[in-house]
């Protein structure tokens, strides 16, 4: 992977959507569930590495963002070990 000067090791950055918004007429959307990122986090990051992307924004859905929920969710614990 190419290294470069600056705060990030690669020029391109990526991110994984974590929104849980409510559509007025269609109900709540949970994009983490829809993309199945929580189930495939290792594969998702491996895919980015294969593209030469070394930095990704990871989010915690708003409905899960209380301090206790965020700290104890399996997804947060798994990501913190990276």
Q: Kindly report, residue by residue over 25-61, the tens digit of the pLDDT.
A: 888 888 888 888 888 888 998 999 999 998 888 877 6
pTM value is 0.61
Question: What is the mean pLDDT of the segment spanning 1-15?
Answer: 75
Decide which of 66 and 12 is more confident. 12
d(CA 75, CA 59): 10
Residue 13 structure tokens: 């950055």
């Amino acid at each position: 992977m190419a290294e470069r000067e600056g705060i990030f090791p690669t020029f391109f950055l990526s991110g994984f959507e974590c929104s849980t918004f409510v559509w007025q007429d269609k109900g709540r959307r949970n994009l983490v569930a829809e993309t199945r990122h929580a189930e495939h986090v290792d594969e998702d990051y491996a895919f980015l590495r294969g593209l030469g992307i070394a930095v990704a924004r990871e989010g915690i859905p708003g409905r899960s963002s209380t301090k206790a929920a965020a700290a104890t969710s399996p997804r947060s614990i798994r990501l913190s070990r990276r």
